[in-house]
Homo-oligomer: A and B are copies of this chain.
Amino acid sequence: MMGIKLTDVAKKAGVSATTVSRVINNYGYLSQKTIDKVHQAMEELNYQPNSMARSLQGKGTQLIGLIFPTVSHPFFGELASKMEAKLFEKGYKTILCDSANDKEKERDYLRMLAANKVDGIIAGAHNLGIPEYENVELPIISFDRYLAEGIPIVSSDSYQGGRLATEHLYQRGGRKIAIITGTNESDSPTNQRLEGYLSILKEHQLEPMVYQFPLDHSPFLKATEIRQILSKNEIDSVFCTDDLTAILVINKAQELGLKIPEDLKVIGYDGTEFVQNYFPQLSTVLQPIDQFVDLLIDLLIKRINNADVDLDNLYQLPVKFMQGQTS
């Protein structure tokens, strides 16, 4: 039933357990001959050191917790997928935690990750009021959201993104420019997209039209509200602070017989590869997902290797506007 253990390898290789351990952990004096013998025995027995026993010794688990709202959303799916790939390259394993916008679940996760002695956490969920983050002694890096004092945030320049999108709509002739965004309950840089929008409208002395949908609204509910907004016929442009909402707007506009972009200009936000591949017509603001991944992981690994490295509080990566046919 039980697997191969270190002593089995030692026996097979005809050396002592100590020597096998020395080979595995590469310390002390070792002859090449012994190293080869041991490696061969490990291969022949298909030996894998027991992670539990190693980390009991304080070796680190090589486990990283990933806390995101849900990987069923293309944006987080893409982020998680790339994160996982890069972590695996670097020898880490990923524990997936879909917080599902559920505060209690997120707290449970935090406890669970601590109990599992993960080496670090990357958190990008949207729940507020989780004081546990204040006391976590683990290395954490946050994605796009304030968690607690001393936890670095990686995000993009949402203010600039909001400005880019809105100014673009204005340049294309939009004068009744609405924004559809989430309720900014969470203390996240994401809310700056709205600020960017407002700043541009102010510069052009236009009246802002702000629609805020709670994050936990179903797409169906959102679609219904969007239909209502559109059928009032009071707007000529919409800036959606995520691509999926923009797609809903386009769908509903088509149902209502509105021509895009003539009757209605639409801009999204995120620009995942998914949307670029399957909705190439959508104008959107590109978030630098690959750079997010690189930076998040680099920072986390720095923290893991040295708990005292000085990291900035906030890293803001630049965004890019991408012209499609919907604006």
A251-B274 in contact given A52-B61, A73-B77, A77-B74 (Cβ < 8 Å): no
Q: Main secondary structure on chain A at its contact with chain B?
A: helix
Q: Is the CB of A114 within 8 A of B71?
A: no
Shortest distance between the CB of A20 and any CB in chain B (Å): 15
A220 to B277, CA, bound (A): 7
Partner of A72, one of B1, B74, B105, B220: B74
Which residues 65-115 of A have a CB within 8 angstroms of B?
Answer: 66, 70-74, 77-78, 80-82, 84-85, 88, 93-98, 100, 105, 108-109, 111-112, 114-115
Nearest B residue to A2, CB-CB: B58
Residues in B whose Cβ lies below 8 Å from that of A66? 96
A117-B277 in contact given A85-B98, A94-B96, A96-B84 (Cβ < 8 Å): no
Residues in B whose Cβ lies below 8 Å from that of A150? none
A48 to B46, CA, bound (A): 33
**A55 interface residue per 8 A CB criterion:** yes
A72-B114 in contact given A85-B98, A93-B95 (Cβ < 8 Å): no
**A26 interface residue per 8 A CB criterion:** no
Total chain A interface residues with beta-carbon distance under 8 A: 57
**A278 interface residue per 8 A CB criterion:** yes
**A53 interface residue per 8 A CB criterion:** yes
Residues in B whose Cβ lies below 8 Å from that of A1? 137
Shortest distance between the CB of A56 and any CB in chain B (Å): 5
**A51 interface residue per 8 A CB criterion:** yes
A46 to B115, CA, bound (A): 11
A111-B72 in contact given A95-B95, A95-B96, A96-B80 (Cβ < 8 Å): no
Q: Is the CB of A115 within 8 A of B85?
A: no
Nearest B residue to A56, CB-CB: B52
Q: Is the CB of A81 within 8 A of B74?
A: no
**A49 interface residue per 8 A CB criterion:** yes
Q: Is the CB of B280 within 8 A of A251?
A: yes
Residues in B whose Cβ lies below 8 Å from that of A317? none
Residues in B whose Cβ lies below 8 Å from that of A316? none
Q: Is the CB of B71 within 8 A of A77?
A: yes
Shortest distance between the CB of A192 and any CB in chain B (Å): 26
Q: Is the CB of B50 within 8 A of A115?
A: yes
**A116 interface residue per 8 A CB criterion:** yes
Partner of A94, one of B50, B95, B137: B95
Shortest distance between the CB of A167 and any CB in chain B (Å): 27
Can you pick out 5 interface pairs between chain A and chain B where the beta carbons lie within 8 Å of each other?
A48-B115, A52-B55, A71-B80, A72-B74, A94-B96
The 4 closest A-B pairs by CB, nearest first: A48-B115, A219-B277, A77-B77, A72-B81
Beyond A51-B117, A84-B97, A96-B96, 7 additional contacts (C-beta under 8 Å) are A53-B56, A70-B81, A72-B274, A77-B77, A88-B108, A93-B95, A248-B277
